[in-house]
Structure 1
């Protein structure tokens, strides 16, 4: 096993730890790990990411469910339109994107590269939210009455994002659950993990019919990520999630900048 591959497998544990500590965020690293450490094509990397994120988040959501932290009516309202959009995007939108995605006067933008640029931009958005620790204490639903129409629309939009880039979108889901459903932060995080788990698996199901998967690689990687979430949930009792989230945000920002610089360098 090469040093690069070993780092990749260790990174799987880190992904799980981050999800266990913060209720999300780790999924934003899975695609870069697959692309740069395992040399997996970007589109296939998003498929792998959906499975890993789904399985790891499912374990976390079971823990939150047993502790009665998940709001199931809000989950259903947000998740149903999200499930539809994530499945449709994986089953039809991503396969339908042309390759190359764009070409003009000798300039060619391959599909894999375009998805990486989009992913890097989303990573920057996620990093900004984590660094600023944007967790509003209350919002439109401060009166305790969830805005179900708004939740459904946001669910559909988050599903499109999840289906396109293969990440769970927790950095978007948690603020929406606070603002539009009036959930306390801890309950919003717990509910978000369940939504991420099911979203990811629904997206992955949209890939199965047109994607060849290396289960000998995917299952061990997922197992290490699941191990990581147990470590993360244990450490969450002793560490301050706010500071960890901010530090992780700077790390995500650095990875996003690396992706952009690396890809733009090869482009020009």
Structure 2
């Protein structure tokens, strides 16, 4: 299973290099199902992996002048605060079970169902290539809208260990009227900062398997460079759509698997 896990970790980087995003959404399922990491700890490991892989992408965009640092820090300040609060106050105090529709469900199952839902939601813009079609200059967003999106992105990153790029990039384009390429680069900076803020707090109350964590991260980063080399001769739009369908199918499989597991646990 670990061999499959490292192949999947390479695929995380490949997708980031080939289509410019999306791969990090697979990090938690890979850690849980292929490496046997608990869902809560997997979200912590994911923050580190997502943070470093996003940093690689952010550095490339910064060199190409596709990052608005002021926007990154202003828009990301509230999401960073939200990430810290979630990782410091909520995650360490989660109960073993929660009540859903009158039935007790383990937090692990609940988190994987939430993550699968996130995968399904994030697959839609990839399949439709919505980000490519967004136009700048639609309207100027109000402060409340910007704050709201900042909190939402922080919740997604803090609770599930995902970067939230599928929310961030459209938000920067629509709310702040930033051109698409600069929105992608700026969102990578925000994701990097959010991820490291969350992980830095987790280090204080989790025992980390650094050998596993650094190996997976290294493999994923290697995949990024391979993906970047391959992307020069491939149709990114077609690749992105194909990857979106893959994420959608994986999300649905996780939902079915976790529901079956929850039903079996209740009956036992």
Provide TM-score, normalisation by structure 2. Answer: 0.92
In structure 1, list runs of 5 or more residues that go unmatched: none
Query: Counterparts of 1:101 and 1:22 in 2: how far apart (Å)?
Result: 37
* Cα 1:127–1:103 shift into 2, 3 Å: closer
Provide the residue aligned with 2:245 in structure 1.
250
Provide the residue aligned with 1:14 in structure 2.
11
Provide the residue aligned with 1:80 in structure 2.
77
Provide the residue aligned with 1:46 in structure 2.
43
C-alpha displacement of 1:148? 5.4
Provide the residue aligned with 1:230 in structure 2.
225
Whether the 8 Å CA contact 1:174–1:192 is kept in 2: the answer is: yes
Provide the residue aligned with 2:96 in structure 1.
99
Provide the residue aligned with 2:111 in structure 1.
115
Aligned counterpart in structure 2 of residue 56 of structure 1, from 28, 50, 53: 53
* Cα 1:183–1:208 shift into 2, 3 Å: same
5 Å-filtered alignment, 1:163-242, equals: 163-242=158-237
Aligned counterpart in structure 2 of residue 261 of structure 1, from 227, 235, 256: 256
C-alpha displacement of 1:224? 0.6
* Cα 1:175–1:104 shift into 2, 3 Å: closer
C-alpha displacement of 1:124? 0.8
3-state SS of 2:104 partner: strand
Per-residue CA deviation, residues 181-202 of structure 1 (Å, 9 max, x unaligned), is 1122222111111111111111
- Number of residue-to-residue matches in the alignment: 262
Query: Counterparts of 1:231 and 1:9 in 2: how far apart (Å)?
Result: 15
C-alpha displacement of 1:95? 1.6
Provide the residue aligned with 1:127 in structure 2.
123
C-alpha displacement of 1:111? 0.9
Per-residue CA deviation, residues 232-263 of structure 1 (Å, 9 max, x unaligned), is 23333332222111111110011111111111
Provide the residue aligned with 2:266 in structure 1.
none
Provide TM-score, normalisation by structure 1. Answer: 0.92
* Cα 1:192–1:240 shift into 2, 3 Å: farther
Per-residue CA deviation, residues 120-167 of structure 1 (Å, 9 max, x unaligned), is 11111011121122124325x447x67555333312210111100011
RMSD: 1.8
In structure 2, list runs of 5 or more residues that go unmatched: 264-268
C-alpha displacement of 1:22? 2.9
